[in-house]
């Protein structure tokens, strides 16, 4: 069965300092000394969770996109993480999915964090992005999306095939609510019978909000395969497609699921 290799970079961020963050992540990516297929960076990895998009937004042909394209080609791996993008006079918290051949996909954060005023500064996305890699399908989401299970819920086609095998979140999730983060990552894996991956930052941001990391990889039965709190870390993990397939075959709970549509 197919395997898939992830490298998760849990890191502190320089507040609203793109050049410093790109330099720092260049060093971290360059230090990955084993073959990998997907390198995961945090939410808003060039700025931290900034509510000043007018100052820091880039375009889809800007510096950070070029930087991701270069490193993806260099490492022969997909690189993903979210940045601030301006498009059509609107601002988006946009996850970039950069392929080694220079092509890319993107996902605009659906659920904007009104508690911090994100909904006043950014525009919400309305489409999910499910990427395909080596026969795997990966549902890409951002931080606060984790609290909304309908947006992540598996849907099946007429052949009863599941939409995805991995649910991936990049985040700037505060330490004060880390219990919800850890609990919901396990819940999303269990209810969707998939791997769930949550990559969070560490350190204090410019608003004095602390982030404890707690990046995790969770198996389709809810078992925690990796957990790292507080410290910066680069973690490499190989997932096996057979584990998802066997779980779904042994426990076919999906047959009893409710039909629904996302409007």
143 is a catalytic site residue: yes
**Active site annotation includes 43:** yes
pLDDT at 262: 76
Q: What is the pLDDT of residue 261?
A: 78
pLDDT for position 159: 58
User: What are 141's two structure tokens?
Assistant: 């989401």
Q: How far is CA 214 from CA 8, 64, 137, 228, in A?
A: 12, 26, 24, 5
Annotated active-site residue in 58, 143, 182, 243: 143
Q: Is 0.75 topped by the overall pTM?
A: yes
DSSP 121-186: HSPPP---EEEEETTEEEEEEEGGGGG-HHHH---B-TT--BS-SEEEEE----GGGHHHHHHHHH
Q: Which of 16, 43, 58, 243 is catalytic?
A: 43
Which pLDDT score, from 0 to 100, does residue 158 have?
Answer: 59
* Whole-number CA gyration radius for the chain: 17
Domain 3-256, CATH homologous superfamily name and number: Carbon-nitrogen hydrolase (3.60.110.10)
pLDDT of residue 151: 96
The domains of the chain are located at 3-256
- Residue among 37, 58, 75, 109 flagged as catalytic: 109
* Best CA proximity match to 43, nearest among 113, 99, 105: 113
Spell out the per-residue pLDDT of the chain, length 263, in tens: 699 999 999 999 999 999 999 999 999 999 999 999 999 999 999 999 999 999 999 999 999 999 999 999 999 999 999 999 999 999 999 999 999 999 999 999 999 999 999 999 999 999 999 999 999 999 999 999 999 999 999 987 655 578 999 999 999 999 999 999 999 999 999 999 999 999 999 999 999 999 999 999 999 999 999 999 999 999 999 999 999 999 999 999 988 888 877 77
Sign of CA dihedral 48, 121, 106, 169: positive
């Amino acid at each position: 069965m197919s395997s898939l290799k992830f490298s998760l970079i849990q890191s502190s961020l320089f507040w609203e300092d793109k050049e410093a963050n790109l330099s720092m992540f260049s060093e971290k990516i360059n230090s990955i000394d084993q073959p990998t297929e997907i390198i995961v960076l945090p939410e808003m990895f060039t700025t931290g969770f900034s509510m000043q998009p007018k100052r820091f937004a880039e375009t889809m042909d800007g510096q950070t996109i070029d930087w991701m394209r270069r490193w993806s080609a260099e490492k022969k791996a997909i690189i993903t993480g979210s940045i601030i993008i301006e498009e059509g006079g609107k601002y988006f918290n946009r996850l970039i999915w950069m392929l080694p051949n220079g092509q890319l996909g993107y996902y605009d954060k659906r659920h904007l964090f009104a508690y911090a005023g994100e909904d006043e500064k950014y525009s919400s996305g309305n489409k999910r992005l499910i990427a395909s890699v080596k026969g795997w399908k990966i549902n890409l989401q951002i931080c606060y999306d984790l609290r909304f299970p309908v947006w992540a819920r598996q849907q099946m086609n007429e052949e009863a095939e599941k939409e995805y095998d991995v649910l991936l979140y990049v985040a700037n999730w505060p330490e004060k609510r880390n219990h919800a983060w850890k609990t919901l990552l396990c819940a999303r894996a269990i209810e969707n019978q998939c791997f769930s991956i949550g990559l969070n930052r560490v350190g204090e941001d410019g608003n004095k909000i602390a982030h404890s990391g707690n990046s995790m990889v969770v198996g389709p039965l809810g078992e925690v395969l990796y957990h790292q709190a507080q410290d910066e870390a680069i973690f490499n993990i190989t997932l096996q497609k057979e584990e998802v397939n066997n779980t779904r075959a042994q426990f076919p709970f999906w047959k009893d699921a409710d039909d629904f549509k996302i409007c």
